Amino acid sequence: MNSQSPEIHHSMQGASGQVSWESPANIALIKYWGKHPVQLPMNPSLSFVLKKSVVRICIDYAIQAGQASGFTGFLINGRENKSFSERIALFLRDVDPHFSFLKHATLKISSESTFPPATGIASSAAAFSALALCLCSVEAKLNNTAPEGSVFFRKASNIARLGSGSACRSVYPGMVVWGQTKSVSGSDDHYAIPLKPETVAPVFHSLQDSILIVNSSPKKVSSSKGHAMMHHHPYREARKEQAFSNLDRMLRAMQTGDLDTFGEVTENEALSLHSMMMSSSPGYVLMHPNTFRIIELIREFRRQTAIPAYFTLDAGPNIHMIYPQKEVEKVRPFIKEEVLPLCEDGKWIDDGMGNGPRHEA
Ligand code: DP6
């Protein structure tokens, strides 16, 4: 995709200002696992954004043509973060060809996150999507255009992808697909697109995601390493096929309001993701014994109550319990009484589907 922006205009010289976006984390139901350069997915994925788990980024910018660009540090909740600053510096280098102003810009970036400390929940999708939206907003301001519309969000998604693949799905509300597939018209490997709300039954417009924190320690193997191990994975082709076919089944289930198939596919994807890790070379396990116990508890709860509550996992031991919002009152006592004793210090985040990113300035 060519999202090269026009050369810096005279009127931009000396321009300065501030932009700010708040952007959420997302949870994938069909998993992105395996990629090829540059950050293009091996298979399509599908996710929805969360409400409470968000990162707010604010960029102060100053443009001076002829002057070397600079990035004066990255503050998280008011504090310097060296390792994330390095990642941001690399990201800014990678996205430079997409923004003509970047060469002449000095940026001061600060961020605030609502992610509760020590929960092991990754904030990179939220952070990179907020950052991408901010950069696109600076460009829009310099071009005197509004930071809205499908072209704006498509570019933001494309840019967010270069920071972290899953971040490209965080720029939209509702159900979002990233990766080219014949089943979704307009889908693309370079950016995510939202599913048309009318193709998703009402029950899937307000899902709950109770995040059960089993262990908050940093991951033994990063997602980036995990993706890389898919290159020579013995089940690579089978996994690819499975993801395409699971996405098709999921899209049909969402269209028809078929919760059983939705749940079956959601759980299948979570277990497949972790099977890929276990059968990688070298194999590794990110689940914790309590992850398995909670999976069994959720399945038993479903058998006994017929409440359509399902689990999914990201690349870690924590469980995302997904169920329709109308079941909240029935599910909460189950979580409190049976599940929280298996969580680290009884920690959980009662989150759910959110409305997507918010432009603040
Ligand atoms: C298991 O997006 O974190 O959460 O592109 O290397 O930054 P990078 O990886 P990342 O991978 C996410 C993997 C996943 C599944 C998903 O979100 O689809």
179-216: per-residue pLDDT in tens?
A: 999 999 999 999 999 999 999 999 999 999 999 999 99
Q: What share of the chain is helix, strand, coil (3-state, %, to 5)?
A: 45, 25, 30
Residues 51-91: tens digit of each pLDDT = 999 999 999 999 987 666 666 666 666 777 777 788 899 99
pLDDT for res 3:
45
Residues 119-171: tens digit of each pLDDT = 777 789 999 999 999 999 999 999 999 999 999 999 999 999 999 999 999 99
Atom of ligand 1 nearest to the CA of 166: 2
User: 166 C-alpha vs ligand 1 centroid, how far in Å?
Assistant: 5
Q: Which residues contact 158 (CB under 8 A, 6 or more apart)?
A: 1, 3, 98, 168, 190, 191
User: 224 C-alpha vs ligand 1 centroid, how far in Å?
Assistant: 8
Which residue's CA is the closest to the ligand 1 atom numbered 5?
165
- Tell me which amino acid residue 350 is: D
User: 315 C-alpha vs ligand 1 centroid, how far in Å?
Assistant: 8
**Residue 2: both structure tokens together:** 């060519």
- Cα→Cα distances 97→14, 21, 93, 141, 162, Å: 21, 22, 8, 18, 12
User: 129 C-alpha vs ligand 1 centroid, how far in Å?
Assistant: 13
- Pocket residues for ligand 1 (CB within 6 Å)? 28, 31-33, 39, 45, 124, 164-166, 223-224, 227, 273, 314-315
- Contacts of 280-283 with CB under 8 Å at 24 or more apart are 280/226, 280/229, 280/230, 280/233, 281/229, 281/232, 281/233
Query: How far apart (Å, rounded) are the C-alpha atoms in residues 166 and 178?
Result: 8
| Phi and psi at residue 265, to the nearest 5° | -70, -40
Q: Are strands 207-212 and 319-324 parallel, antiparallel or unpaired?
A: antiparallel
User: How many Cβ atoms sit within 10 Å of the Cβ of residue 196?
Assistant: 12
Atom of ligand 1 nearest to the CA of 124: 3
